[in-house]
Amino acid sequence: MKLLSPERLKLHAFIWLVLAAMSVVSCIAQFSNQSPLQTNLLALLPKTERNVVAEEAVTQLVNSAGNRVLFLVGASSQEVAITAAHSFANQLRALNKSSGQPAMFKQVFLEVPALDTNQIADFYAPYRYRLLTHEDYKGLSDGPLHLNDQLQQKLYAPFRFGLALPVEQDPFGFADRWFAHLPLKNFKLEFENGLLVGHSADKTWVFVSVDPEGSAYSDVTQDQVMHAITTAESSLKQAHPGVELLRAGAVFYASKARQSAEKEMHIIGLVSLSGMLVLLYLMFRSIRPLVLGFLSVGFGICTALAATIYYYGEIHLITLVFGASLIGEAIDYAIQYFSAHLGAGKDWDPVSGLRRVSPALMLALTTSVLGYCVLAFMPFPALTQIAFFAIIGLVAAWLSVYLLLPATLMQPNSHPPEAAVDIPQRFLNIWQRYMTKRSCVMIVLAVLVISVPGLFKLKGNDDIRLLVTQPPELVAQEASIRQITGMSNQHQFFLVEGETTEQLLMHEEVLTQQLDQLVARGELAAYSAISTFVPSESQQRKHQAAWQANVFKHSTLLKETLAEAGLRDDIAGALQNDFQHSNKNLNVDDWLKTSFSTPFRHLWLGKTQQGHYASIVLLQGISNPQLLARWADDQNINAVTYVDKAQSVSTLFHTYRLWSAVWLVCAIVLIYGVLSFRYGPRVGLVVLLPTLLGIMFTLGLFGYLHIPLSFFHMMGFMLVLGIGVNYSIFMREGIMVDVKTHQAALLAGVLLSAGTMLLSYGMLILSEMPVLSSFGLTMLMGVGFAALLSLMVLSVER
Amino acid sequence: MLWMTMGSLNAAHAEQQDVLKQLGSRVEQHAVLRADFTQTKQMAALKRPLITSGKLLYSKVHGVVWQITKPYPITYILSEDKVIEVSADGYRKERSVKDIPGFAQISRIFKAMLSGDVNALNAYFESKVFENTVQAEPNQTAWQLQLTPKQTQTSRFIQEIVVTGDQFVTSIHIHEPNAASTAILFSNTEAAPTLRDAELALFRGK
């Protein structure tokens, strides 16, 4: 490298300044607009469904119900509960109107219009000869023999329950039984005094729900909704002290996750930054490296932030928290340069100093970027974004060392280098005297002996809940709500498709017939399907034919049966006349227009973009989801797809976890290639070995400690590889330098790097997000061991 | 039957409440009741009233068994969470409360009517009380309870219910909106502290 003039160095620093100003302005501009922060963890998942319509159906389901906020207002007396629920709902409505801004709630739902049973009966009555339950169809096909029994039962029942047609319209109760099989009521809530009421051991609960206008994951919605709810809750508690309020909804989880992520980002960023500054000061005893280190890291993070938001249009919470911990790695480059400065003492020349650390920095950056590149190729949007962020941030921080530091660190160190590196120097001397190659081999063997048995105890964890922070009090409240209302939060469903509406309904019927068996065996509590409300036309024709063949064909018998039971003589004729004039089939379009179909309309997807028709069959109370998934696989019904988003995600995690092991091996081979290129195959292996052992030792410990390995631990190992190798490279490059004080200074730099690294990643363990804490734990242990073991590189001759 | 109205139609609301409360405390809530019943049902579709008779078993805890013996044996077992229909050949058909909209209320109203539980009925009906002290037995007051539904949901099925009783409920008259009516008369009513084993088995199922 040609020696550069001070003017040239100043030009470089000026370029850096311009770049830095650009990225700061860009960051401020992007954040002052609409916040580009994405808090929906599930949005980071890749598409899991092969069927495009299924993926759409999942999105639609989440959009229709996923934003809803549920409340139960409970008190020991029903009257108090009702009054309290009214005042709570009214307060929410008042807040909604008075906010001055566009309404934040689509609706606040408390009063329910009574399920108009007359309306349902009136709608179905004209089609009653086309609607039969499976049992009645079978019974009717066997012949008209049982009609008498059924007539008697209809007449003698001491009270009517549920939907029923009058005796003269439905003397045998076929319509009544068909009505009874409609899943109009699946929840434990009851309709009382215009409200939905639930009961638990000692309390009465009134159901209130709210549909926010925006997404639960938008921070504007979160702030507005949380504020309104908190206000309404505190005045509720004031007016009715004994009243309990239970809540459930994505908005609570999302807002909690955002709060804790923001808090964590602040704490992690603050602690690791200040810890780092303290360490830097202890080492260099000067403010200048502190400021410069801070500037170069800040430049890296800022540029990464600006680039990520520019490229993706948003930045995910996980990326941001991860970014806060990237500080620990980004500062390494600057530290190496400062160490060179420290070690050179009076002979300092900024450019030759740069030349001295340049190979180490280059190699370290290459291996890190390689590691992150592997991460970028994971088919997981979250990781791609993290990798993108990390690569930009590291390159920018590395660039800072070249552009900014030489111009700003012109003066030699005022402290004598021997004094500054006294402790590392002594450590180095002792290590190189006592730690021979043989003792290193012993260490390697010891690590292997300890870790290998642990490896066999390793277990995996691919649960989707890893992605979601689960504050215990929210989880408990949601569980109580599920228990009181009988609502489930299972999202498994079948997607049914057909070229025409009729074909779709027929496919549904094939499926529901199978599902009925599951219900009978108790493996499924219930399901809701459009074809339950509107049978296919072919079913309807079959039912009508059964009526014709077994009832109306025998008109004398019909007349006699009715007369015997005491019914008026004209009724038989009226029925016959009715039957002959009923020639219209019930169809889905008419059904969708009724008001009682509202709670089920989300089952109907209608015409898809592919020109097909699609619907959902929603399942409730699945006793064993895995068993059901296997059952669904075995059925293989035409045009029916089983969709279990949670299970798909877990399967995805599982696949990725296994694949990431393969990727890890690939990355190791790649890095080994780079190292052998620089050091030759033997020393290359020595440089790689501490990191490999660090990874193995960490894995072994996880095995002993029964920490199940998740995909996110594997991602951690990917980074451990990149960073751990850095330390060995710095060590190796350090001892290749002739001057002893330089060696000691570089060793001190590595120790400092490891210290800052452990500080920043160690802080991640405290994260409430399982993803980040497992990531942090892996980093802490992996990098910690790798840094310790990298000292072995010192025992290898130059 | 002669009725001397003590609480009149124009009686002050407070007074009504008072009488109701008294009545509520007077009609003793027995754990188990057994009675014979005769039910007369009138409907537009019927040429002549439909008369059925049988036995009633009421348990405060377990529910109601409505056992029709004439003209056609069929039994309805109404428990807290399901209704079971047992036909003459012993075939049981069960339906769960949670599948039937409004069933829980109907079941609660029916139980309250059978046991004369005024407090429970007040949740669903506006009630008026008429009382008559029988000279021969000064301790024994006969009463009549006139119920009109509070909720439109209930008023679709029931126009008015009149329950009469003394120590026990003696009759129930249900008037439906479409000129249909049901009259149930009870006789041989007896109270007991507990169910017999065989009766308990009915509720528990086979």
Q: Could you tell me the residue ranges of all domains in chain B?
A: 2-204
Residue A669: partners with Cβ closer than 8 Å, 6 or more residues away? none
Q: Is residue A240 part of a domain?
A: yes
Instruction: Tell me how far apart the alpha carbons of residues A686 and A769 are, in angstroms, rounded to a whole number.
Output: 36
Give the pLDDT score at A160: 66
Neighbours of A223 (CB within 10 A): 13
Residue A304 has which token pair? 């990464």
Instruction: Tell me how far apart the alpha carbons of residues A376 and B59 are, in angstroms, rounded to a whole number.
Output: 70
Give the residue, A606 or A393, on which the prediction is more confident.
A393
Beta bridge partners of B196: none
ipTM confidence score = 0.75
Instruction: Tell me how far apart the alpha carbons of residues B165 and B35 are, in angstroms, rounded to a whole number.
Output: 13
Residues A158-173: pLDDT tens digits? 666 667 788 888 888 8
pLDDT at B98 over 80: no
pLDDT class for A689, splitting at 50, 70, 90?
very high
Looking at residue B133, its amino acid is: T
* A-B Cβ pairs (cutoff 8 Å, strict): 86
A158 touches chain B (CB under 8 A): yes
Give the pLDDT score at B4: 31
Q: Is residue A103 part of a domain?
A: yes
Determine what percent of chain B falls in helix, strand and coil, rounding each to the nearest 5: 20, 45, 35
B70 touches chain A (CB under 8 A): no
Name the residue with tokens 């989440």: A62
- Rg (Cα) of chain A, in Å, rounded? 35
Q: How many helices (H) and strands (E) does chain A have?
A: 30, 13
Classify residue A567 by its DSSP letter: B
pLDDT class for A48, splitting at 50, 70, 90?
low
Give the pLDDT score at B12: 43
Beta bridge partners of B57: B34, B65
B61-66 average pLDDT score: 87
Residues A530-540: pLDDT tens digits? 999 999 999 99
Give the pLDDT score at A43: 65
Q: Is residue A124 part of a domain?
A: no
Supply φ then ψ for residue B74, to 5 degrees: -160, 140
Q: Which of A343-352, A460-469, A633-642, A671-680 has the lowest mean pLDDT?
A: A460-469
Give the pLDDT score at A531: 92
pLDDT class for A502, splitting at 50, 70, 90?
very high
Residue A239: partners with Cβ closer than 8 Å, 6 or more residues away? A84, A87
Answer left, alpha or beta for residue A199, where phi above 0 means left and psi between -120 and 50 means alpha. Answer: beta
Residue B119 has which token pair? 């407090």
Give the residue, B5 or A250, on which the prediction is more confident.
A250
Q: How many residues are recorded in chain A?
A: 798
Of A276, A315, A290, A370, the C-alpha closest to A673 is A370
CATH number at residue A223: 3.30.70.380
Q: Which of A650-654, A728-732, B157-161 has the lowest mean pLDDT?
A: A650-654
Q: Is it true that the peptide bond before B149 is cis, omega within 30 degrees of 0?
A: no
Give the pLDDT score at A643: 82
Give the pLDDT score at B1: 29
Give the residue, A202 or B132, on which the prediction is more confident.
A202
Q: Is A38 helix (H, G, I), strand (E, B) or coil?
A: strand
Beta bridge partners of B40: B51, B183
Residue A75: partners with Cβ closer than 8 Å, 6 or more residues away? A81, A84, A203, A204, A240, A242, A243, A244
Beta bridge partners of A315: A37
Supply φ then ψ for residue A212, to 5 degrees: -65, 150
A460-485 average pLDDT score: 79
Which residues form the domain of A198? 69-112+194-248
Residue A396 has which token pair? 């920018």
Q: Is A100 helix (H, G, I), strand (E, B) or coil?
A: coil
In angstroms, the Cα distances linking A353 to A67, A726, B102 are 58, 19, 85
pLDDT class for A704, splitting at 50, 70, 90?
very high
pLDDT at A691 over 90: yes
Split into its structural domains, chain A has a count of 1
Report the greatest alpha carbon distance in chain A.
Answer: 122
pLDDT class for A49, splitting at 50, 70, 90?
low
pLDDT at A588 over 80: yes
Do B45 and A186 count as a contact with CB atoms less than 8 A apart?
A: no
Cα angle A188, A211, A118 (rounded to 5 degrees) comes to: 50
Looking at residue A676, its amino acid is: S
Q: Are A753 and A727 in contact (CB under 8 A)?
A: yes
In angstroms, the Cα distances linking A428 to A353, A432, A574, A788, A791 are 22, 6, 108, 13, 9
CA dihedral B19, B24, B28, B29 (to 10 degrees): 170
Residues B8-25: pLDDT tens digits? 333 345 555 666 666 666
Give the pLDDT score at B95: 75
Of A208, A199, A232, the C-alpha closest to A75 is A199
Burial grade of B158 (CB within 10 A; 0-12, 13-18, 19 or more): buried
Q: Where does B2-204 sit in CATH, by number? A: 2.50.20.10
Q: Are A212 and A106 in contact (CB under 8 A)?
A: yes
Cross-chain CB nearest to A156 (options B45, B68, B83): B68
A461-469 average pLDDT score: 72
CA atoms within 13 A on the CB side of A52: 5
Contacts of A568 in chain B (CB under 8 A): 45-47
Contacts of B74 in chain A (CB under 8 A): 152-153, 156
Do B76 and A157 count as a contact with CB atoms less than 8 A apart?
A: yes
Mutate to test the interface with A, among B153, B173, B176 (most CBs of A within 10 A): B153
Report percent pLDDT > 70 for chain B: 77
Give the pLDDT score at A787: 87
Give the residue, A341 or A798, on which the prediction is more confident.
A341
Mutate to test the interface with B, among A152, A178, A487 (most CBs of B within 10 A): A152
Cross-chain CB nearest to A567 (options B46, B83, B87): B46
B102-110 average pLDDT score: 76
Residue B190 has which token pair? 């007896």
Q: Is residue A199 part of a domain?
A: yes
Instruction: Tell me how far apart the alpha carbons of residues A295 and A302 are, in angstroms, rounded to a whole number.
Output: 10
Supply φ then ψ for residue A249, to 5 degrees: 160, 150
Rounded to the nearest angstrom, the minimum Cα separation between A158 and chain B is 8
Report percent pLDDT > 90 for chain B: 8
Residues B113-150: pLDDT tens digits? 888 787 778 878 888 887 765 555 555 678 888 888 88
Q: Is A84 helix (H, G, I), strand (E, B) or coil?
A: helix
Q: Are A384 and A373 in contact (CB under 8 A)?
A: no
Mean per-residue pLDDT of chain B: 77
Q: Is B11 helix (H, G, I), strand (E, B) or coil?
A: coil
Beta bridge partners of B41: B50, B182
Rounded to the nearest angstrom, the minimum Cα separation between B29 and chain A is 22
Neighbours of A744 (CB within 10 A): 26
Q: Are A505 and A588 in contact (CB under 8 A)?
A: yes
CA atoms within 13 A on the CB side of A684: 16
Report the greatest alpha carbon distance in chain B.
Answer: 54
Residue A42: partners with Cβ closer than 8 Å, 6 or more residues away? A467
Instruction: Tell me how far apart the alpha carbons of residues A196 and A71 are, in angstroms, rounded to a whole number.
Output: 11
pLDDT at A690 over 80: yes
Give the pLDDT score at A352: 85
Q: How many residues are recorded in chain B?
A: 206
Instruction: Tell me how far apart the alpha carbons of residues A222 and A215 are, in angstroms, rounded to a whole number.
Output: 8
pLDDT class for A42, splitting at 50, 70, 90?
low
Residue A479: partners with Cβ closer than 8 Å, 6 or more residues away? none
pLDDT at A66 over 80: no
Q: Are B78 and B63 in contact (CB under 8 A)?
A: yes
Give the pLDDT score at B5: 31
Dihedral sign computed on CA atoms, order B28, B33, B36, B41: positive
Rounded to the nearest angstrom, the minimum Cα separation between A598 and chain B is 16
Mean per-residue pLDDT of chain A: 82
In angstroms, the Cα distances linking B36 to A698, A794, B110, B187 are 79, 102, 16, 5
Distance of alpha carbon A248 from the chain centroid: 17
Report percent pLDDT > 90 for chain A: 11
Rounded to the nearest angstrom, the minimum Cα separation between A589 and chain B is 25
Nearest chain B residue to A193 by CA distance is B151
Do B45 and A187 count as a contact with CB atoms less than 8 A apart?
A: no
Residues A72-109: pLDDT tens digits? 898 888 888 888 999 998 888 888 877 666 677 887 88
B13 touches chain A (CB under 8 A): no
Rounded to the nearest angstrom, the minimum Cα separation between B77 and chain A is 11
Mutate to test the interface with B, among A119, A148, A159 (most CBs of B within 10 A): A159
Of A556, A581, A552, A582, the C-alpha closest to A172 is A552
A453-481 average pLDDT score: 81
Q: Which of A92-96, A200-204, A262-266, B95-99 has the lowest mean pLDDT?
A: B95-99
E-strand ranges in A220-261 read: 244-248
A303-332 average pLDDT score: 81
Residue A244: partners with Cβ closer than 8 Å, 6 or more residues away? A73, A74, A75, A203
Q: Is residue A153 part of a domain?
A: no
pLDDT at A524 over 60: yes
pLDDT at A433 over 90: no
Give the pLDDT score at B101: 61
